[in-house]
Structure 1
Amino acid sequence: MAGHTLAYFGRSRWRRSTSPLPRKAAQVPTDFFGLCVANAPDPACDDYVIARLNELGIRHARLDFTYGDRDAFTERFLARLLTDRFRVCLHLVQPREEAHTMLRHPEAAERWRAFVGDMLDRYGSRVELIEIGATCNRRKWSGYSPAAFFVAWQIAWEEARGRNLAIAGPNVTDFEPAYNAGWLGEFRRSRVLPSVHTDNLFVERATEPEAFDHKIAGQRLASLFRFNLVRKAQLLQDIGAWAGVPTLMCAHVTWSLRRIARFLEDVEEKQADYLGRYACLAAASGALTRVYWGPLIGQREGLIDDGTLEYPELPHVTYYEQARGEIKDYRLRPAFRTFQTVNRLLAGATFQRRLATDAGLEILEFVLNAECQAPPERYAQASRMQNAEEKSQRSEVSGQRSAISQKFAPPLAGSAISNSANAESGMKNEEQRTRNGAILHAVWTTDGNGASADACYPPELLAQAEIYARDGQRLERAPRMFSESPVFILWPSGVCHPSSGVCLPIPGYRFAHRPGWDFDIVRVGTNALGLGGVYLTGDGGERVDIQALLELAGHGKAGGGEEKQTPNAQHPTPNAQCRMPDPASPGGYAGQAPDGEILQSKIENRKSKILRDSRNVVWSVSAPWDIARTIVIKEFKPRSVFRRLLDYGKPDKALRSWNGAQELLRRGLQTPTPLACLIPGKTAPGNAKYCAASYYICEAFAPAWSARDAFNAFSAGATEFQGQTANTWYGAIAVFLQKLHTRGVYFRDLSAGNLLVRQSPAGELEFALIDTARARFYPYSLNLRPRLCDLMRICHPLNWPNRRIFVEQYLAHNGRRFSWWMKIPFWYYDGKHRAKNALKKIRL
């Protein structure tokens, strides 16, 4: 195997024939999408799975089958699929224990030969494809050594050849091209090549399908090799073509919720986003002829949640044994509707091009053909397609490969197969004619980025399009900002669509895209202050009146009702970023603020309180659009020349605060809701004194205390604070900080005053971080050093006995003990504060 791998990668062909970007037009097969399915002993589960396949419009199913499945519920389900004329890829799986003993016990090899021969006799002419190999590069899962797998493959190939049938394989899992090249090269040498090259092309280890895989050469060299989904698919297809098997099929792919949950919070929403983006890129790559998503029903990866906490000993990618749980507990995840949408819009389309965009923004253009299905709200249920029994008999092995390759080739528009499928689909002919030639754009950004819709498309052009969300719902208008959730824009044939120009994401800004949230740009030329930036809007209406916020920024802290806030039990620390003096704060925003004199009157009569006036100015003020709401405005004063030199190359502090807050929210860590970031742009000289400052505006987090309040009380000898014991407080804060650090956040300003706490209606403690400008974010869990740096800051108000109790509770989550050398950063920070306080006394 190693020699074949070196023979392939020693040539420069793979570097010339692959690219991280889709490079040329490609026909997407009408049968591009399939599903990995399984049933349960209950016959009602058969009906449920068939109904879900029909609902999705999927006619291609992949079913795992092993020794114990004969004459059991799996074989009953196989017969049902064939009766309902689904096109089945039958994946024959040798039990792990049998595979492990293949070389030592000849009877194991004979049992495998008998099983394969029996299944080929029963179903070989009825199913679409027979696949051999189950994660052959994972010995722990499959039981195969390289030698044992080759014996198993050779036996299956001989049995198939004797019946004039073909098999697919070898089912390498993940992206490990050395195995693909090695196995296919060895199969070519031994003249036992498959007809279809199969691989489980996962890319979830890179988190996003567009991201360059850091597992290949490390984080620093990932951008040098640039292996993302598109390039991986093209490389695997090129390996197959080099070996004589040009047809590539992804046999199983999914996104594990557990992997997403390592760094992100809305795991099911992110799973749906990644599914849509993967499907679009796979279709545009031109390398894959089919993608089987799977499993349909599962606890971690399924499009349908099985309602259990069970996970099988063998991963579903190796052997998807059965659908677990009870039907009454099944729940459709958002990814189910996303899969339905991409199947209906992309299958049968023609990929035209990738529009010129900068990194972080993807716009893929497809042309819909007559075979493409109607949008979801007008979609008629997919009907039965022609059976695989119509295949012609093939007498030569090379003829077998040719026939199978042709079968997986994209049907041409107007061909007998495509016309037959359309005739049976139940769609109206008029809808087919309307969709034929329509232009479809799939638009999204990578995680945390945003792109203004107006910067990508002229507004009058968007007004002529049909806009569909990721789940297939038609939107009344295009979002103001494209996000990491794909949006599909459909123009009827004959309507002009963008043909040139470079589209760019908004540089420097991060966004936490949540359901119902939308963002927009504050353009410098639209206000007298010369401020630019971004702000949060709602879905279909304003959540924030940006003009009112600009007026507040212009008036500054000198507005009516100004008063100095005195420390109290709720807000003892004057340097808080988001502190609200009034504990009663009703939820929700009212409508937009009125214009003109009414708005001016509201601003002048607002209630405001200064929270801090030193290096920066922080004040709270009632929202102009809702007098009952309180917002917090942080004004960053102009930087001195010396400070500008020290901060050279760093973003504005308001922008850093916005990005820090957005990234915390993306990672499931609470912070007061960011409302706007206003930074100076190019302005007239008369406005220079206003535009030299920048502003970060957020909601107030109230009623709340700070962790400093609790720690000061416990250091003074109190056993409880706000009805909670010291151990309860320490345990809750330790859990929050563990989540913070595990998700790659090094906060760097984690003083006890910057951690706000309030009680939920259920009595649980809720935490929120403020002063987010210094935070740093990493794509991996933090090691011990930055964790201790954060701990030494937050523990400063605690005396040593309480400090030890808290730190031991935190370290217990990592399986560590509080060793003596871990006290060094705490001693350092205590000494630093003593020296700082001493200098202040000398200056006074």
Structure 2
Amino acid sequence: MKNKPLNPLTFWPQAIGDLALGIYTFLHWPKSLSSRVDPPVTVNEQFFGINIATSSDERSDDYVLDHVRELGFKHVRLDFTYDSIGGDAERLLHKALDQGLEVLLDIFPSFEDAQQISKDPGADQRWYEFVETIFSRYGVHKDQLIFEIGNTPNRGKWSGFSSIGYINAWNIVSPLMDKYDVRIAGPNISDFEPLGNISYLRAMKRISQVPPIHTTNLFVERVIEPEANDHRVLGDWARDWLRLNLVKKARAIDAIGKELGCEETYCTYKCWTIRRLNRWSDDPEQKQADYLMRYMVLAATSGALDRVYWGPLVCNRDGIIDCGAEGYPEVDNVSHYREIRGNFEDYRVRPAFKALKQANQLLAGATCIQAVHSQNGIHHFVFVNDQQQEFHISWCRDGFSLPIGLVYPNAWDDEVSFTNVLGETLTTAPTQINEQPLVIRFNSIHPRWRPDADKLAGLPDMTVLNIPAEQRQYLPFNNSNWRGALAVNDGQNLDDTLAALLPEALETAPVDHLIRDKRNKVWNITTPTNGTLTIKLNRAVGGKRLSYRFLPSKGKRHWDNAAAMLRAGINTPQPVAYFERHQLSGIEPNYYVTEFLPGAFSSRDVFSSINNGEADFRGMSHEYLLETIGNFVCRMHDAGIIHRDLSSGNILLTQDGDTATPYLIDIGRAKLKKKLNLRERLIDVMRIVYKLDWPDRERLVSYYEKAYGKEVKGWRQAAKYYEFKQRSKKNIKGKLKFKKKR
């Protein structure tokens, strides 16, 4: 071992200088690097890869390699550390090489030795000897092996590395790179941390050399959607100014590597975990497939990445094949994908596997000749493959839907076919483009089918139209008086539906029941096209006429919130329409229309029955109803929804025999977030318990806590505060009324 450990007295001043240069560079790049795809871009034929591992059950080896072949991949990535020699990982490595696969072999010390690099000579020596063993044993496979040095050094809790520890690990083995003349990659920075990429690469270059292949893990999971601008860099205020989406991030990372001498840029690990997707989707496996395709299209057309390896092939939490195991390994797979933990008999292919297979078949070697990657939520890509066939891939951001006639106004001919994100052929032409990528294939090159890219990118922000519903479609609406959206039931005529739902018709239709007519008006009517409906007319009065000038109309807020709630599996009456004015929509009268819930009662009715000492309510026990309400509120919070006006009258329930189903109403003030903190939960809890006596409040909150899995600390103080606030408001209003009478 020739190289000595670095001296901290000289290393840290140099590292601080590297960091300062990195900050200076980073502050200039976001302005100059584009966040949009710039065709033409030809995708590397070897662009797609996958991380693999095996288990002690040798049948897993063949299973893994068979599925790699089914994906059509020519290369894989495999983690390799001290106990891999002579173990399951080395057995899998031999089989992969025998089958002609190219392997990106990620080699790193044990967690304990990574912590001791440069501190313990014994750890340094073991690391050097391990790398020399690997290079001497497998260096002959130069055409099939790339050696990646290190695993997520910026995540010390996973890898064991400190900043100086990783640079020392690189320094220790750098003589071996020249000795064995092997292909090297690194430093494997996790997530988008460009200052880390700059600092590590500068230090690596200063002490020996930069790797020819610059590796990083471009995660976007915490911003949820692949297309989203990252709000975590400088906060929400700078999100849309920086526009740090996946395309711009990839270009920034690639520019860092190229400036410092790296030849290629690989993203070595990317996934969405099923557990995280389950928070905001009622079908997390389908959502994983959708996001995979959307991510791969953007990554491939960015022109910045030479290769992307998807996360683990087989894993229960984030694999595209479920291993069937419970829980998750102690060390995150992104740092060390050690093994498949489940039983061989329990392996199950997920939809994302089919999506990745189709992505490889479509994109590898294809050229993107037109792209719309727009801030308005529309994404449309035109590709030509080496067989001179044209295909389009299109989708909308989550929650949105676009009538396909706005993109393709002409009638389809026989040369056109459609497939979904899983590669399944659609038997009928779709009417909408939504958040699930749609593939449109042509037998040859068809310039006439390409939509006007500038027109698509210039469309206004889309109306939320992707709402779970059966036997109906949601369409945008725009005329000289109103804009909005409406539901058209299957088999019904659009003109007839409009004639029944436009505000002029709503206002003149006979009123079945007037529910409220104060600041806002709520009433029921019966229509020939949509049956009985509930209409809410929103009016802006007082100070609202100023504040609502800067907000979407309440009708649109109701519509958007209802769509998001239904997609998250939280009941609210099915939206039918909303209408708002073109100008000053927040303060002009606007309308929100929903299906009527026949026979519904409110939580307030239940609470009154409890307070009146009745034995039950409509044949259902009070205990059951309190449990139902408590569970529903907790489930709503778990989905990231704060109602913000959760009075007992704003939860309706329908009855079917001896069971009750809750629905949220009056949802215009609701907010949707990724995850709620305790304070945000208390905003609703203190309101929903207000009409109950303290013993019954305790019962309701106990059911909420049971569903939540933990104690809701501070709810009593919050309820007392809200009770004082309401009592004070009533006293003030009473005094004002008394003065007016006098």
The C-alpha deviation readout for 1:632-684, integer Å capped at 9, x for no partner, is 231528878998677545544433322221122233322122233355789xx
- Matched with 2:377 is 360
Q: Which amino acid aligns with 1:772?
A: I
Please say if 1:79 is aligned against 2:94: yes
Please say if 1:654 is aligned against 2:555: yes
Please say if 1:781 is aligned against 2:676: yes
Q: Give the match's secondary structure for 1:287.
A: coil
How many Å separate the matches in 2 of 1:484 and 1:50? 32
Q: Where do residues 303-702 of structure 1 align in structure 2 (5 Å cutoff)?
A: 303-355=320-372, 357-368=374-385, 370=386, 432=387, 436=388, 438-460=389-411, 465-476=416-427, 478-491=429-442, 492-496=444-448, 497-503=450-456, 504=458, 507=461, 509-514=463-468, 519-521=473-475, 523-524=477-478, 532-536=483-487, 542=490, 546-553=494-501, 556=506, 574=515, 615-619=520-524, 621=526, 624=529, 631-634=532-535, 636=537, 647-678=548-579, 695-701=591-597
**Contact 2:316/2:326 (CA < 8 Å) preserved in 1?**
yes
**Which one of 661, 664, 667 corresponds to residue 772 of structure 1?**
667
Compared CA separation, residues 310 and 544, structure 1 to 2 (3 A) = farther
**Which one of 75, 78, 81 corresponds to residue 60 of structure 1?**
75
Deviates most, 41-50 or 825-834: 825-834
**Contact 1:633/1:697 (CA < 8 Å) preserved in 2?**
yes
Deviation at 1:521, TM superposition (A): 2.6
Compared CA separation, residues 332 and 821, structure 1 to 2 (3 A) = closer
Q: Give the match's secondary structure for 2:329.
A: coil
- Matched with 2:608 is 712
- Matched with 1:406 is none
Deviates most, 185-194 or 701-710: 701-710
**Which one of 753, 765, 771 corresponds to residue 649 of structure 2?**
753
- Matched with 1:794 is 688
**Which one of 28, 31, 46 corresponds to residue 46 of structure 2?**
31
How many Å separate the matches in 2 of 1:195 and 1:614? 67
**Contact 1:102/1:109 (CA < 8 Å) preserved in 2?**
yes
| TM-score normalised according to structure 1 size | 0.76
- Matched with 1:816 is 713
How many Å separate the matches in 2 of 1:96 and 1:794? 50
Please say if 1:825 is aligned against 2:722: yes
Deviates most, 793-802 or 693-702: 693-702
- Matched with 1:609 is none
**Contact 1:748/1:776 (CA < 8 Å) preserved in 2?**
yes
How many Å separate the matches in 2 of 1:465 and 1:840? 71
How many Å separate the matches in 2 of 1:657 and 1:837? 32
The C-alpha deviation readout for 1:242-278, integer Å capped at 9, x for no partner, is 1111310011111122333344443222222221111
- Matched with 1:416 is none
Q: Which amino acid aligns with 1:829?
A: Q
**Contact 1:735/1:810 (CA < 8 Å) preserved in 2?**
yes
How many Å separate the matches in 1 of 2:677 and 2:453? 43
Deviates most, 482-491 or 205-214: 482-491
Q: CA RMSD in A?
A: 3.5
Deviates most, 284-293 or 302-311: 302-311
**Contact 1:452/1:505 (CA < 8 Å) preserved in 2?**
no
Compared CA separation, residues 536 and 295, structure 1 to 2 (3 A) = farther
How many residues are aligned here? 711
Deviation at 1:807, TM superposition (A): 4.4
Compared CA separation, residues 125 and 744, structure 1 to 2 (3 A) = same
The C-alpha deviation readout for 1:708-733, integer Å capped at 9, x for no partner, is 22212222234654666555544443
Deviation at 1:173, TM superposition (A): 0.7
How many Å separate the matches in 2 of 1:665 and 1:367? 38
The C-alpha deviation readout for 1:198-233, integer Å capped at 9, x for no partner, is 111111122122222111111112223221111111
**Contact 1:521/1:534 (CA < 8 Å) preserved in 2?**
yes
Deviation at 1:29, TM superposition (A): 0.5
**Contact 1:522/1:531 (CA < 8 Å) preserved in 2?**
no
How many Å separate the matches in 2 of 1:221 and 1:249? 28
**Contact 1:174/1:201 (CA < 8 Å) preserved in 2?**
yes
Unaligned runs of 5+ in 2: 1-14
How many Å separate the matches in 1 of 2:682 and 2:292? 38
- Matched with 2:296 is 279
Compared CA separation, residues 837 and 272, structure 1 to 2 (3 A) = farther
Compared CA separation, residues 656 and 18, structure 1 to 2 (3 A) = closer
**Which one of 259, 270, 280 corresponds to residue 276 of structure 2?**
259
Q: Give the match's secondary structure for 2:266.
A: strand
Compared CA separation, residues 633 and 117, structure 1 to 2 (3 A) = same
Deviates most, 1-10 or 638-647: 638-647
Q: Give the match's secondary structure for 1:98.
A: helix
Deviates most, 185-194 or 700-709: 700-709
Please say if 1:3 is aligned against 2:17: yes
How many Å separate the matches in 2 of 1:733 and 1:168? 55
Compared CA separation, residues 651 and 206, structure 1 to 2 (3 A) = closer
Deviates most, 221-230 or 291-300: 221-230
How many Å separate the matches in 2 of 1:499 and 1:547? 28
Compared CA separation, residues 656 and 806, structure 1 to 2 (3 A) = same
How many Å separate the matches in 2 of 1:243 and 1:81? 33
The C-alpha deviation readout for 1:530-550, integer Å capped at 9, x for no partner, is 765323468xxx276544433
**Contact 1:512/1:665 (CA < 8 Å) preserved in 2?**
no
**Contact 1:439/1:493 (CA < 8 Å) preserved in 2?**
yes
**Contact 1:99/1:148 (CA < 8 Å) preserved in 2?**
yes
- Matched with 2:630 is 734
Q: Give the match's secondary structure for 1:131.
A: strand
Compared CA separation, residues 781 and 766, structure 1 to 2 (3 A) = same
Compared CA separation, residues 513 and 490, structure 1 to 2 (3 A) = farther
Q: Which amino acid aligns with 2:455?
A: V
The C-alpha deviation readout for 1:540-569, integer Å capped at 9, x for no partner, is xx2765444334347658778x7659xxxx
